[in-house]
Amino acid sequence: MKQMSELVKLLHQRLQEAARPQPGRERISVPLTLQQRSSLLPWLAAQPIFPQFYWRQRDDKEEAAVCGEVVRFNDAASARQFLISNDVGNMRIWGLNTFDQVEAPSADRPKSALFLPRIEMLRDADGARLVVNLYSETSLADDVALAQQSLKLLTAGEPLAPLNVKINAVHHQPEKQGWCDLLDQALEAISQGQFEKVVLARQSTLSLNAPLNPAAFLNASAAVNHHCFHFMMRMDRETAFLGSSPECLFLRMGRSLTTEALAGTVASSPDNQEAKRLGDWLMRDKKNQHENLLVVDDICQRLQGGILAIDVLPAEIVRLRKVQHLRRCIHADLAKIDDADSLQRLQPTAAVAGLPREPARQFILQFEPFTRGWYAGSAGYLSLNQTEFAVSLRSALIEGNNIHLYAGAGIVAESDPQQEWLEIENKAAGLRTLLEREDW
């Protein structure tokens, strides 16, 4: 990477040119050269500026490391309105949305943790660059002074150390018997016609012998969990929510929206022939195909009224390190561009909540023994030109010496509690095994 001191000096000069006493917004960018791909996470980990957000797209065409907060938003609608008012096509607002987007937000329980960052380091098809965002409703010169203070704190990144922690204790919410009891309740509700499907989850709290470095943990995950979105929202030095998710909530480019139904699961294997055998079984299994088609139907219904056309592609197998999924991609032409509306329509999806969504959501809120928060919500960004959010699955909340891992399973009439427990064990293993030094 080009010397950080040189880049900062150049940005200071550009900031002075933008310093004026009137309100306004600016986006100042300088190009940089990266020594290697995916080197932004170590850089972000070295910065003393919070909040931080890291994003690496599933196909690795984009990577972003951003820090510092210019403007904060508690819901996607206010973030979208800010973008419209300021009319900067490539300005992005980054962050998280909670699982439950239905209830009205409050000061202590916002729907979202979205922010316009002060500093961005970006890599995409146009190359790499360092960006400073400016915004003020009174004096841009005052905000330039704040930006210069942030620039003085920037430092060069260092290689992330390998994970070196041990698990002292593990506590599940619910434990296995509680899980079986919860599924029996769900199956009874399904038999009574309350809903067709509900997605139930487990929170596993791992107590460690030392604080866990969130960036090092995500770096280890990205090295082995391929074909995933990798994201991290770091609130302060000890607290972060992160994940390696295989599922796209939606990608909007102009008026074109792409989403997917990722539902139906079987174990994976490091042996290619065994993985193919399991994948072939998944393609033929009626229970998993039914589960996937329920999600497809729900997405299509939820988009109605906001689209001009829709197309569902044939099913395919997504092979991950520990599990394989059924996926059907869905393309739609939007009647109008409104990312907050798309978020409201699609989240929570049937793949993380159930069908019909409202009674399934109410069952989760009433009977699940923990609050999901950011888990099964979404992570990504909004902008005028395009917006992309991943479903925040295969995720973890790090709080000092504790890490909370999350995994869920779709429950339908044919579900077996023991098999569903095995499924969430396999899903959670995608992150847990990083702390257990397993090879695959």
> Buried (b) or exposed (e) across 37-67, using 16+ Cβ within 10 A?
eebbbbbbbebebebbbbbbbbeeeebbbbb
Instruction: Give the distance from CA 154 to its chain's centroid.
Output: 26
DSSP codes of every residue in 155-205:
----PPPPP---EEEEEEES-HHHHHHHHHHHHHHHHTTS-SEEEEEEEEE
Count of all residues that appear for the chain in the document: 440
Count the Cβ atoms, other than its own, within 10 Å of residue 75.
Answer: 20
To the nearest 10 degrees (0 to 180), the angle between helices 339-346 and 286-303 is: 150
Check if the beta carbon of residue 44 is closer than 8 Å to that of residue 67: yes
Closest CA to 317 of 284, 354, 271: 284
Instruction: Give the distance from CA 225 to its chain's centroid.
Output: 14
Check if the beta carbon of residue 199 is closer than 8 Å to that of residue 360: yes
Residues with active-site annotation: 197, 247
Instruction: Give the distance from CA 372 to its chain's centroid.
Output: 14
| Annotated binding-site residue? 423 | yes
Indicate the helix (H) or strand (E) that contains 277: helix 272-284
Report how far apart, in Å, the C-alpha atoms of 8 and of each of 15, 48, 54, 156 are: 10, 16, 21, 11
β-sheet bridge partners, residue 172: 204
- Identity of the amino acid at 85: S
> Buried (b) or exposed (e) across 373-396, using 16+ Cβ within 10 A?
bbbbbbbbbbbbebbbbbbbbbbb
Residues making up the binding site: 291, 423
Residues making up the binding site for Mg(2+): 291, 423
